[in-house]
């Protein structure tokens, strides 16, 4: 079966219609020192969608091979994280894993609002109805 450009556009529109959340894709935060005082500065917007930093998205816990909780050690602290997949429109391009994060600005599940999810991978597809970003989320 041959998939036409119209078929793909319709599938992409269907995916986007089912993205109830709003995210931003930003560079990682950085630490700055001013007069000996340390401050965390939010990373700049890295990717925009239709000229705005607000990107429709859908957030879900990953299944299959990338599912499960992993325990990372940062300094002397063990931090459990879970893999989540953030789905964004297929036209969102330029995402660079390990240098960017997803900031959830509005979520249907209020516990997700405000979360900052480091991007560790961007899944590709031969039928690109949406772009799937593999992220880590602290457990809790």
Looking at domain 5-138, which CATH architecture does it have? Beta Barrel (2.40)
What pLDDT is stored for residue 48 in this prediction?
95
Q: Left, alpha or beta for 69 (phi > 0: left; psi -120 to 50: alpha)?
A: beta
What pLDDT is stored for residue 127 in this prediction?
79
What pLDDT is stored for residue 138 in this prediction?
74
What pLDDT is stored for residue 13 in this prediction?
94
Q: Can you point out the beta strands (E) in the chain?
A: 21-27, 30-34, 37-41, 45-47, 55-61, 69-74, 77-89, 100-106, 116-123, 130-138
What pLDDT is stored for residue 67 in this prediction?
57
Q: How many CB atoms lie under 10 A from the CB of residue 89?
A: 20
| DSSP for residue 36 | T
pLDDT in tens, the chain (140 residues): 678 889 999 999 999 999 999 999 999 999 999 898 999 999 999 999 999 999 999 998 776 555 566 666 667 777 767 888 999 999 999 999 999 999 999 999 998 999 999 999 988 777 789 999 999 887 64
Q: How many CA atoms lie within 13 A of 58 on its CB side?
A: 15
Please give the model's pTM, rounded to 2 decimal places.
Answer: 0.84
SS3 119: strand
Q: Contact, 57 vs 15, CB < 8 A?
A: no
């Amino acid at each position: 079966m041959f998939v036409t450009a119209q078929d793909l556009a319709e599938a992409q529109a269907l995916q986007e219609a089912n993205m109830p959340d709003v995210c931003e894709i930003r560079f990682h935060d950085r630490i700055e020192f001013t007069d000996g005082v340390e401050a965390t500065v939010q990373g700049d917007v890295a990717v925009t969608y239709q000229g705005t930093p607000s990107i429709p998205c859908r957030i879900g816990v990953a299944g299959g091979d990338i599912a499960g909780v992993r325990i990372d050690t940062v300094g002397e602290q063990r931090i459990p994280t879970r893999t989540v997949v953030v789905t964004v429109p297929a036209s969102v391009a330029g995402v660079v894993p390990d240098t960017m994060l997803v900031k959830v600005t509005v979520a249907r599940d209020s516990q997700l609002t405000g979360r900052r999810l480091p991007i560790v991978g961007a899944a590709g597809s031969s039928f690109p109805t949406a772009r799937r970003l593999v992220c880590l989320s602290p457990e809790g």
